[in-house]
Structure 1
Amino acid sequence: MQDRKQIITIKGTREGLSIFIEDSSSYKDAIRELEEIIKASKPKKDEPIVSVKVKLGNRYLTEEQENDLRSIISMENRFKIETIESELIRIEDALKWQEDSEIKAINRIVRSGQVLEVKGDLLLIGDVNPGGKVVSTGNIYIMGNLFGIAHAGAEGDPDSFIVASYMKPTQLRIADYISRAPDYESDGVYMECGIIDEEQGKIIIDSLKVLSHKRKEISGFERRMNNG
């Protein structure tokens, strides 16, 4: 007779326990085995509560299933769930990730009084006139003149940057940093980028070539711009 395949694997760590739930088994079987293990290994009342990380592999739990899991690995049983990790994500989360990470290409001029806001990276083919403003949660690439305001990493990403064919902005913002008196010549600069220099604690204007040194992971699009 073949031994039953083990569904639940528990490993001790310095932080507590990691519980691995075999993802090819049925949810019903996994919960049944987990319940048996938790009851058998329940700490005594005078022992500290044990932190638990649950790893689901390629398994997705519904809200009801996750609630079942949390009720078994509970404070009442002297366990506390720190994280539940799955290799799968919901369609809604995947679509949001795609929206946040893709480049939005827009062909227009942002005139005085206008504000252009996008999720993810912005590729603007056109100018930002004085009094105009572009805002992106990611990076900003302007294939034109930047005379107005540009705000990259608007949701707090300090690794974002701003690139423009001709840069003479009224103001640059990256995450919570705001540019002070400009470090570039009053006549403006060509094909430069604005990034946060952590050592100086401010936004600097530097050669586009600096991206490959300051940002270890840049996309193929950025590399093409970098190489002309």
Structure 2
Amino acid sequence: MAKEKEEAVFKGTRDGLLIILDDRREFRSVLDKLKAKLEAARGFFQGAQVIVDVGGRRLSGKQKKALEKLINSQAGLKLKGFSSGERTAADQVSGEEEGRVDVTTAAEQPQEPAPAPEAPLSPWPHSKLSSLPTLFLTRNLRCGQRVNFAGHVLVLGDVNPGSEIVAEGNVTVLGTLRGLVHAGAAGDQEAFVAAYRLEPSQLRIGGVFTRAPDEDGLRTGREPEVARVRDGNVVIEKSAVNPALSLVHRAE
């Protein structure tokens, strides 16, 4: 003997949730069963748009309002409308187990192709992106002052003798660097130290350090310079920055 059809059956569609109501049962019985099923599945259909298929039943205005109130009272559900008329064989659901919910998951539904991501901006040649933060100092560092930062350090000013900068990333000084500086303090030997005038008392990159040059070896040029590690030694190179375009302009 075949089981009777359920008063209310849930079906997942690409348009949302379809609720199929038995049009041969008394409306109050169908409404009570629908309420019990919605309560049991609370939260399962979060955010779903609902269409109610009433079959061949002609709903009165009062019955429509009762269904709308019931569905919209459930958290996350919104009644989209009603449908009626002849059902297909697939919609003539019968003999389903009590409480069964036939839902197509989001993973099973056809997905719109995701838009192609925009191409990222290309970095400048010979450069690389860094995830380290940057500390901006808009003042001079005086004797006795010390900066220790887990990232890059940029100083808009001078680093005077007796001051110290220790950074896990790069150190850039838009001024004169005469204090002690340690870039790549966490062991990064690809870090660099750059300054408008590079005259440190001691300079260290990663685990490689060098002391200040003798007086005769002091550089007198006015071009920005960059200190890097090459073949296990700290070397100082002229910066590719054109001094005429430098952000630092000193009044004589």
Greater share of residues in strand: 1
* TM-score scaled by length of structure 2: 0.41
Q: TM (normalized to structure 1)?
A: 0.46
* Bigger CA radius of gyration: 2
Q: Which has the higher helix share?
A: 1
